[in-house]
A = this chain, B = another copy of it.
Amino acid sequence: LTDTVTRLYPLPPREIPAGSIYADLELPPHRRHDPGRPYVIINMVGSVDGKTSVDGKAAGLGSRIDRQTMRNLRARADAVMIGANTLRAEKLSLGLDDTRGPQPLAVVVTASGELPLDNLLLPERQKLLVIGPQPVVGRFGPERALAIPASPSGTIDLEAALSALRTEYAVELLLVEGGPTLNHALISAGLADELFRTVAPTLVGPTHGEAVHERLPTEPSPASLRSVYLADNELFLRYALQPDHQTNNYS
């Protein structure tokens, strides 16, 4: 493995230093003036076949460069948000490795108010904010909790939550790191501005809900990228799946 990183699009292509993907973005865009909510970007990693986790955990999917890229986005965000289920699945941090500087606000959204907070690794100086229905204030204290009423469907009113983050916590750039339900709730409500999607060179296979037959216990399989075509926003990816083809970089 090398650290060669190439921007393929927009054209012309160019090599960039390892670890610098998204390091030079202007976020939020300087012409944006929306006092109503933060600029919302979503970052997610998935396999070639679209799975966002292996055995329920996202940690197994991304490479070292993906983790660096995630940290480059976090370094620009005023707050990093996840849904409670993502925290239930595994221990994780929403902070920066460099603990000398400021940390983004760590935001966890919960509809039930039940949170396995032991799973959240809070670096020094990082503050936590739990967003949920009224009882979260009693459970986590007014310093660490924001009560947001539920919308008619029983889920957290995300528009109200974003509005409070902007006006009460001065969040101008909000980075959302999943899970899929929170991501899509924001997207389908028109509250997300950008999506950063890493396609890990891996095939995970059907999840329980999808598999027609009982799921075979298989390991994720590697895939080797052979070509990328672009037509009108649509990407056409070709991968070699057999190990003996994977070092053979013919087009």
A binding-site residues for B, Cβ under 8 Å: 1-13, 16, 18, 21-22, 44, 46-52, 62-63, 65-66, 69, 83, 85, 111, 153-155, 179-181, 183-185, 187-188, 190, 192-201, 203, 205-214, 216, 218-219, 221, 223-242, 245, 249, 251
Contacts and interface: CB of A to CB of B under 8 A. Distances in A.
Contacts of A193: 240-242, 245
Given A10-B227, A52-B50, A206 B184 contact: yes
Contact of A229 (B6, B12, B201, B212): B6
A5 B231 contact: yes
A181 to B, nearest CB: 5
Given A7-B228, A13-B12, A194 B235 contact: no
B228 A8 contact: yes
A197 B212 CA distance: 21
